[in-house]
Structure 1
Amino acid sequence: MRQDEFDAIVVGSGMGGLVCAAYLAAGGRRVLVLEQHDVAGGNSHVFRRRRAYEFDVGVHYLGDCGPDGVLPAIFAGLGLEGRVTYREMDQDGFDRIALPGLTVDVPQGWQGYTKRLMEALPGDAAGILMFTDICAAVADETRELMLSDGDLSVADLMARTPVTARWGRSTVTELFDHCSLSPRARTVLAAQSPNYGMGPRDAVVSQHAAVTDHYLRGAYYPRGGGQVLAASLVEALEAYGGELRTRSRVGRILVEGGRVTGVGLADGTVLKAPLVVSNADYTRTVRDLVGEEHFGRRLVARTRQAEMALPFATLYIALDTELPARPNANLWWYRDGDIEAAYRRLAEERIDPVPFLFVSFASLKEPGARHVCPPGHSNFQVMTLCPPGYEYWGVREGPAAGERYRRNQAYQERKAYLTEAMLSAAEEALGPFRDHIVHLETATPITHERYTLATGGTPYGLARWGGVGNRPDTRSTIEGLHMVGASTRYGSGITGAAVGGMACAAQIMDRRLLSEVHRGARLGAPELLPPRATDWDPLAVSRGAGRRTARGLARIG
């Protein structure tokens, strides 16, 4: 085979793209992964500052990483068991939900979760029990279906998922109304909704149930930080004959006569392959990389009218002191007890004072880790959802279209304004800490788009594509073209994207891959994986073999 010809090319190296690529390589295909950024990983990547602090961009915690977990099974199927391990968070309270006059620590398991909520809100106890019973049933049905080892008829599908058939495509607000829940109860039940970037009026019950169930199966953090996930997949890809090329931006996915023929890079290079998997943003894939002319009118109309999930702004903070003692739990802080009103204010671009915060404490999740921060210091992130679109930021087209925004005065003023508002809210939630800040950095949705090319700078992909709850499958209408990532029907987040990558590889290979590996099957051979030296650096590995020793890599210490 020629050097510019491959069996499969994967555009983008987020979790979905890397999982799909690694499984295709393990299955014997010659696979090339192309990534426009300096390192692979997408929203799972990290960055380093001052040779002392490492910040996770998107991996703040993972669910369902116990012995029966889906994500560990996906890695194990590639021979990676033992290379990716997980630290448990506080299983009696891995998420702390704080409202004025009310604090609820979310424990592992639906039963304990429901009991704790009913005790905290006794006036809503009956409605809470009804809500969680329905969500738990939907979650169980969809997980069983995801791990099933055979195709079901429509009649069998309906028989096995009766609660999902009744409630799965209803909005969370519709279920709230059915359960006659108060605004305060709705706020506690939907407090973690920023995990999927939508408020209760936009999110469907199946999505809310799946994400809630994911964490109620146990909350974890990967040892070594989020980059270990991507680096391990890169090791598997390369060990099984695949290749990762970073700093390689794809300008076009080539289609002739209704089928894929390869890709054209931004520098003019053409690479051939009969199979292309796009882990790029779904909207940009359809409209820019492939071109609307290659798709049917209905799909194009849906994509033009699509709405994205809400994006985040994030403060990356390092202190020269330790935070006051607190459990190994994330904090979900709300200014008041009406989450639906908070989302309405967000849509109206009224986010000062900041209505809610998510705070992730990296130095608690991996205490003593040299790469996180020096001894006696703290490393944490403060996040809040932002209005969609560019108008709020004073930006016209966005960095993916080439706009140079960083010297835009309106953008810088808005960024500084929101930074101050978030810091003020964080000190309300945590107590004073500004005098101890030694590093402060703000990432806006525009920053996120610059690095990931995600429409609107959201990590969560599509919120609406056609009807409520609709999302595209990984298989497209163009022969040889598949799509993975946060916008597919398999969900967003690390595990959702990984499951989508598995589903895509399974379609291509015509195997029930997820059920196979969950039952213990192994496609990869661990003996082919490279040894890890004591100074093994997941960030270096994630640059790909061709750039592993290139200059410019930040290191700790």
Structure 2
Amino acid sequence: MSDTNEIIPQKRYFKGSTDGKRPLHHDPLGKARSDYDLIVIGSGLAGLTAANVLGRAGHRVALLEQHYNFGGLATWFKRRGGHVFDISLHGFPIGMKKTCRKYWTQAIADSIVQLDGVRFDNPQFSFDTTFTREDFTDKLVDVFGLERAQVEGFFDALRKMDFFDPSDETTGELFERFFPGRNDVHRLLMEPISYANGSTLDDPAITYGIVFSNFMSKGVYTFTGGTDQLIKAMKAELVKNGVDLFNSVEVERIVVDQSPMGERRVRGVMANGRFIAAKAVLSNANIRSTITDLVGPEHFESDFLERARAVRLNTSSCQVYMGLREGTEIPFITDLLFTSTRPTFTSEALCDFHGESRTFSFYYPKVRPHAAPRYAIVSSTNARFEDWKDFDRAAYEVEKSKLERDTLASLERYVPGVAEKIEHVETATPRTFAFYTEHPAGTSFGTKFEGLPISAELPDQVGGLFHAGSVGIIMSGWLGAANYGAISANKVDAFLHALAHEAASEAAQS
């Protein structure tokens, strides 16, 4: 029995960007090899998928993640009282089922289910939708009074868009071409995509068309079991395929050798102060950070570097996480609610500091059927890092508290009395995302469209250096990230096979 005067140490709680990271008390790389075929930096869905594809192909792969959790923004966190919050689970297109079946497992694909409801509510229109082409067509005809041929022509034009389309038409110009002067129609078509990837009416129409067409296929889907079960299943599959997983590992530098003839090739990484050799490195970090911080500008041609520095970062998000007390419940409202009190629509206004527009994701017990029945609600608002970055600690907390009050007031309009049932409220801002992801300016939506060719051309600059991440808006979201990871993995596989063939030829000649 302990002495009653014994001082019991209090558990230290580190509050993200305000308190910094929890100190390490072990060596995360203690079981790492000295060399690998491939090192993947970052465990977003692109990095995870690339690692799994290449591990399955028989390559020796290590995945290094600076956070304690895997998944990037496809992750979760827990709080006292049994609360579990998903960072970004709602929602993604049906194509995610095919992607998970092909690059992961049938069991993961089978856990992807369609949302039961999506609702829009703003001063210009209010209705529920299945978020399919058929239902959107009916709404545009019956609610907005458009001609069916006009609507069908718009959707057909989107389906024909591809990466090789030379058109420089913007999304706003596309809308005006089909639905001139119809701000309400523009709102319906653009608002959910802006929440999904941060795009605006001024971005290229192709960035809108491909993403919207994916969603319009058969509605919006989510993962039954929550992100914690998804990442648990993905980690198990990675281990099964021989991938070494290491969290809490900070990669300081991608090491590059340069020959007297100017040829540049990856040699490995410096991580937690240790060098680990690798034939190839795939970065799942932000493309600009990869070039300027991890590799270094001295290893790139001047014209490429100039183009890379011109890549614009996209915007970020604020999220308010609300957990209901155990034993309390709310009726089914919808799964995904796009709500706003703004009289008219502009995509830029979605990012307004303490703006009037937000998306509510409702997490009912059906999301985690394996667990005790609990309810959670997450509010998302698009945001700009510049609006949050310069507050001192006191002012920062004041602004977060205001965001929480505004969010609860908005939620009460749809779920009267819900505030009395909520026992945990927590807010994440662009500063939070910048801290946890180490992306510049908390860019939860990656880069603008010009980031895509920079990402794709990286191996041309440095042999063995590859990238997979949220670039070009199109690659934002779960489906785009996972597919881009698979695309990059195929390039890495071809590179590693070429190296093996080259080594075999040299051995045969000697």
Which interval holds the TM-score relative to the shorter structure? Answer: 0.7 to 0.9
2:268 to 246, 255, 262: 262
- The residue that corresponds to 1:45 in the other structure is 75
**SS of residue matched to 1:390:** helix
Report how far residue 126 of structure 1 moved: 6.5
Distance 2:223 2:74 in 1: 11
Quote the residue 1:394 is aligned against: 390
Q: CA deviation at 1:104?
A: 3.0
**Residues 430/215 of structure 1: CA separation in 2 closer, same or farther (3 Å cut):** farther
Q: 1:191 to 1:300 in 2, by over 3 A?
A: same
**Distance in 1 of aligned mates of 2:120 and 2:240:** 43
Amino acid at match of 2:330: L
Answering whether residue 255 of structure 2 is matched by residue 248 of structure 1, we say no
Number of the residue aligned with 1:10: 40
SS in 2 for 1:486: coil
Kept in 2: contact 1:15–1:41 (CA 8 A): yes
Question: SS of 1:207's equivalent?
Answer: helix
Q: Contact between 2:194 and 2:200, CA under 8 Å: does it hold in 1?
A: no
CA distance in 2, matches of 1:346, 1:45: 24
- The one-letter code sitting in structure 1 at the alignment partner of 2:154 is F
CA deviation after TM superposition for structure 1 residue 454, in Å: 1.5
Q: Whole-Å Cα distance in 2 between the matches of residues 135 and 291 of structure 1?
A: 39
Q: Where does residue 31 of structure 1 map in the other structure? A: 61
Distance (whole Å) between structure 2 residues aligned to residue 313 and residue 282 of structure 1: 22
Task: Assess, with a 3 A threshold, how the Cα gap between structure 1 residues 123 and 502 changes in structure 2: closer, same or farther.
Answer: closer
- 1:325–1:239 distance in 2 versus 1, CA, 3 Å: closer
2:248 matched to 1:237?
Answer: no
Unaligned runs of 5+ in 2: 1-31, 259-263, 496-510
Partner of 2:300: 295
* Equivalent position amino acid for 1:383 in 2: S
Q: Structure 1's 361 and 137: CA in aligned 2 closer, same or farther, altered over 3 A?
A: same
2:156 corresponds, among 129, 133, 157, to: 133
Contact 1:62-1:215 at 8 Å conserved across structures = yes
Q: How does 1:109-128 map to 2 (within 5 A)?
A: 109-122=132-145, 128=151
Does the C-alpha gap of structure 1 residues 209 and 337 become closer, same or farther in structure 2, counting only changes over 3 Å? farther
- Deviation of the 1:447 alpha carbon: 0.8
Distance 1:488 1:297 in 2: 22
- Equivalent positions of 1:21-100 (< 5 A) are 21-64=51-94, 69=95, 71-78=96-103, 80-90=105-115, 94-100=117-123
Structure 2 CA distance for partners of 1:185 and 1:368, relative to 1, 3 Å = same
Residue 368 of structure 1 and its aligned partner are, at CA, apart by 4.6
User: Given the alignment of the two structures, is residue 20 of structure 1 paired with residue 50 of structure 2, yes or no?
Assistant: yes
Q: Which residue of 2 aligns with 1:433?
A: 418
Match of 2:455 in 1: 472
| CA deviation string 1:472-499 (max 9, x = no partner) | 3274321000011112676111110111
Q: CA deviation at 1:42?
A: 0.6
Distance in 2 separating the partners of 1:472 and 1:430 = 44
CA contact (8 A) 1:471 1:488 kept: no
> Which has the bigger relative contact order, CA under 8 A and spacing at least 6?
1
CA distance in 1, matches of 2:148, 2:353: 31
How far 1:194 moved relative to its partner?
2.6
3-state DSSP of counterpart to 1:434: helix
Q: Which deviates more from structure 2 when the two are superposed, residues 428-437 or residues 477-486? A: 428-437
Structure 1 residue runs without a partner (length 5+) = 143-157, 159-163, 396-406, 512-557
Tell me the distance in 2 between the aligned counterparts of 1:369 and 1:240: 26
What is the rounded CA distance, in whole Å, between the counterparts of 1:181 and 1:249 in structure 2? 50
Counterpart mapping for 1:260-409 below 5 A: 260-265=266-271, 267-320=272-325, 321-327=328-334, 329-340=335-346, 343-345=347-349, 350-352=352-354, 354-363=355-364, 366=367, 368-370=369-371, 374-375=372-373, 377-387=374-384, 389-394=385-390, 408-409=393-394
Partners of 1:119 and 1:125 within 8 A in 2: no
- What's the % identity of the aligned pairs? 25
For the residue of structure 2 that corresponds to 1:272, the secondary structure is: strand
Where 1:284 maps in the other structure, the secondary structure is helix
1:447 paired to 2:432:
yes
**Quick one: which amino acid aligns to residue 98 of structure 1?**
D
Rate the CA distance shift 1:88–1:239 in 2: closer, same or farther, 3 A. closer
The normalised TM-score by structure 2 is: 0.82
Q: TM-score, normalised by structure 1?
A: 0.75
Structure 1 Cα separation of the partners of residues 302 and 415 of structure 2: 51
Deviates most, 41-50 or 101-110:
101-110
Aligned residue identity for 2:39:
I
Question: Which deviates more, 358-367 or 274-283?
Answer: 358-367
Q: CA deviation at 1:274?
A: 1.5
Is 1:462 matched up with 2:469?
A: no
Separation of aligned partners in 2, 1:448 and 1:484? 19
Return the letter of the residue paired with 1:229. L
Is the contact made by 2:270 and 2:276 (CA closer than 8 Å) also made in structure 1? yes
Residue 173 of structure 1: CA displacement? 0.2
Q: Distance in 2 between matches of 1:232 and 1:505?
A: 20
- Distance in 2 (CA, whole Å) between partners of 1:42 and 1:90 is 23
Name the amino acid aligned to 1:390.
Answer: E
Instruction: Kindly indicate whether the alpha-carbon contact (under 8 Å) linking 2:448 and 2:472 is maintained by their aligned counterparts in 1.
Output: no
Deviation at 1:457, TM superposition (A): 1.2
Please tell me whether the aligned partners of residues 113 and 224 of structure 2 are also in contact (alpha carbons under 8 angstroms): no
CA displacement, residues 416-464 of structure 1 (integer Å, 9 cap, x when unaligned): 2222233333334544422221111111111111111122212210025
Q: Based on CA coordinates, which of the two structures has the bigger radius of gyration?
A: 2
1:185 is aligned to: 185
Q: Tell me how far apart the structure 1 counterparts of residues 324 and 404 of structure 2 sit (CA, whole Å).
A: 16
Task: Give 1:308's aligned amino acid.
Answer: L
Matches within 5 A, 1:412-427: 412-427=397-412
Counterpart-to-counterpart distance in 1, 2:473 and 2:188: 26
Residue 499 of structure 2 is aligned to residue 498 of structure 1: no
* Separation (CA, whole Å) in 1 of partners of 2:232 and 2:369: 22
Of 452-461 and 485-494, more deviation after overlay is shown by 485-494
AA aligned to 1:170 is E
CA offsets 1:58-102 (integer angstroms, 9 cap, x no match): 1222211xxxx4x333333356212443353356xx421111252
Greater shift after overlay, 469-478 or 205-214? 469-478
Partner of 2:198: 198
Q: 1:288 to 1:187 in 2, by over 3 A?
A: same
Q: How far off its partner does 1:228 sit? A: 3.2
1:367, CA displacement in angstroms?
6.4
For residues 300-322 of structure 1, give each alpha carbon's deviation from its aligned partner in whole angstroms, at most 9, with x where no partner exists: 22332332222110011112332
Number of residue equivalences: 454
Residue 346 and residue 213 in structure 1: after superposition, are their counterparts in 2 closer, same or farther (change >3 A)?
closer
Correspondence for 2:128: 105
Once the two structures are TM-superposed, the CA of residue 187 in structure 1 deviates from its matched residue by: 0.8
Residues 365 and 385 (structure 1), Cα distance of their counterparts in 2 relative to 1, 3 Å cut: farther
**Structure 1 pair 177–7 and aligned structure 2 pair: CA distance change class (3 A):** same
